[in-house]
Amino acid sequence: MSPIDTVGCSYEQYKATADWLLDRTNHRPTVAIICGSGLGGLADSLKEQMIFKYSDIPNFPHSTVSGHAGRLVFGMLNGKSCVCMQGRFHFYEGHPVWKTTFPVRVFHLLGVETLIVTNASGGLNEDYKVGDIMVIKDHINLPGFAGINPLLGPNDDRFGERFPCMSDAYDKELRRLAAEVSRDLGYSAITHEGIYCGLAGPSYETIAESRMLRILGADAVGMSTTHEVIAARHCKLRVFGLSLVSNKVVMDYESLDRANHEEVLQAGKHSAELLEKLVTHIVGRIDCNSNMS
């Protein structure tokens, strides 16, 4: 099947997957968390866990990337029923773009109201340091400029409207809550709010490309997230995003630095604990903000 295949799954297939999961767990999650490269430890901190391998879930894709365990974990996080993806699906793995977002629509049918996306990213902003955390304010879906979008093909009104608004993609109240929690935890010095740019990958950016992305206004760059967010907003889920700066993007032709995936995973190990603590506190306080839309 071509990665740009637009046929997708039927509503009945999404529902069959959701029903299969609901029949096998007593958890009824209201929050879903997608864990990026090296950040799967967040799922391990859930209480009362119920774990499903992706390979056992009907219609679910399989993750092939190092640092992605390939498990769906249900459990309690700071008093909230959650479901965590230990490993996401990427366009560069050869999945059609609608398949990379398949779990998001399943989450919607499970009753999830809020989606938290996390990723490891390269820092474009010169003020960002390795190990910093960026609260995603907005994104640039660069593959979307070439027509790569998870909503391609016939629209199913049972999920959402044909032309979803994306100017409010990342929930303002959740971002405000994140700033409060960061101050409370003493993380203000390492937490920023910025623009994430999603690319198709799997090759890293050239220096010219990186400079272009910075001119466009991107603060961090990665190979995931944007398509998941589009699918989530199509389903009217609230979205909150965190990006762990795992490496500084090479912007100087004289630099001897080279981007590599092992560096990404190592940075995740060093800083993931801070990000996990931040997410845990945010999840515990989500319902304190009753005006969120």
At 281-290, the pLDDT tens digits run 999 999 744 4
pLDDT at 36: 86
Known catalytic residue at 167: no
Among 92, 193, 212, 292, the one annotated catalytic: 92
Task: Tell me which of 69, 178, 223, 267 is the catalytic residue.
Answer: 223
* pLDDT at position 194 over 90: yes
Residue 68: is its pLDDT beyond 50? yes
State yes or no: is 43 an active-site residue: no
Q: Any catalytic annotation for residue 37?
A: yes
Cβ neighbours of 290 (radius 10 Å): 6
pLDDT tens for each residue of 75-92 = 999 999 999 999 899 999
Active site residue 166: no
**What pLDDT is stored for residue 7 in this prediction?**
62
Beta strands at 71-77 and 47-53: parallel, antiparallel or unpaired: antiparallel
Mean pLDDT of 31-40: 88
**Of the listed 232, 247, 272, 281, which one is catalytic?**
247
pLDDT confidence of residue 293: 41
Question: If pLDDT is split at 50, 70 and 90, which confidence band does 254 have?
Answer: confident
Reading the block at residue 73, the tokens are: 């974990």
Tell me which of 120, 134, 169, 232 is the catalytic residue: 120
152-188: per-residue pLDDT in tens?
999 999 999 999 999 999 999 999 999 999 999 999 9
Q: Single out the catalytic residue among 37, 119, 125, 149.
A: 37
Task: Say what the pLDDT of residue 113 is.
Answer: 97
Higher-scoring residue by pLDDT: 45, 75: 75
Question: In the annotation, is 120 catalytic?
Answer: yes
Catalytic residue among 224, 243, 246, 271: 224
Q: Check if 224 is active-site.
A: yes
Block residue for tokens 């092992």: 262
Q: Where are the domains of the chain?
A: 11-288
What pLDDT, on a 0 to 100 scale, did the predictor assign at position 182?
A: 97
Per-residue pLDDT, 62:
79
The mean pLDDT value for 248-270 works out to 76
Say yes or no to pLDDT of 258 above 90: no
Residue 68 catalytic?
Answer: yes
Task: Catalytic residue, from 18, 93, 205, 231: name it.
Answer: 93
- The question of whether 95 is a catalytic residue gets the answer no
Catalytic residue among 14, 54, 81, 90: 90
Task: Report the pLDDT averaged over residues 125-142.
Answer: 96
Strands (E), the chain: 31-35, 47-53, 71-77, 80-86, 114-123, 133-141, 191-198, 220-222, 238-248
pLDDT band at 262 (very low <50, low <70, confident <90, very high): confident
Kindly name the residue from 259, 261, 263, 292 that is annotated as catalytic: 261
pLDDT tier, 5 (very low <50, low <70, confident <90, very high otherwise): low
Residues 26 and 37: their CA atoms lie apart, in Å, by: 28
Give the residue, 265 or 89, on which the prediction is more confident.
89
* pTM value surpassing 0.85: yes
Instruction: Return the CATH architecture of domain 11-288.
Output: 3-Layer(aba) Sandwich (3.40)
Catalytic site includes residue 92: yes
- Please indicate whether residue 198 or residue 45 has the higher confidence score (pLDDT): 198
**Average pLDDT over every residue of 246-257:** 88
Cβ-count burial of 95 within 10 angstroms (0-12 exposed, 13-18 middle, 19+ buried)?
buried
